[in-house]
Amino acid sequence: MGDIVRSVVVLAAIVLGIWAFGLLQTSTPDDPVRDVDYASTADSARQAATYPLLAPASLPDEWRPNGVRFTPGGTQPWHLGVLTAQDRYIGLEQEKVPADDLLEVHADGAKAAGTLDIAGVTWQRFDGPKNRITLVQETPEVTTLVTTSTASQDDLETFVALLTAS
Percentage with pLDDT > 90 across the chain: 76
Q: What's residue 104's pLDDT?
A: 93
Which pLDDT tens digit goes with each residue over 40-96? 999 999 999 999 999 999 999 999 999 999 999 899 999 999 999 999 999 999 999
pLDDT the model gives residue 143: 95
Helices (H) and strands (E) in the chain, counts: 4, 9
What is the spatial distance between Cα 159 and Cα 161, in angstroms, rounded to a whole number?
5
Query: What domains appear along the chain, each with residue ranges and CATH number?
Result: 38-164 (3.40.1000)
Rounded alpha-carbon distances, angstroms, from residue 92 to 4, 17, 52, 54? 60, 46, 14, 9
Residues forming a β-bridge with 145: 93, 136
Q: Is pLDDT at 110 greater than 70 in this prediction?
A: yes
| Residue 49: half-sphere exposure toward Cβ, Cα within 13 Å | 25
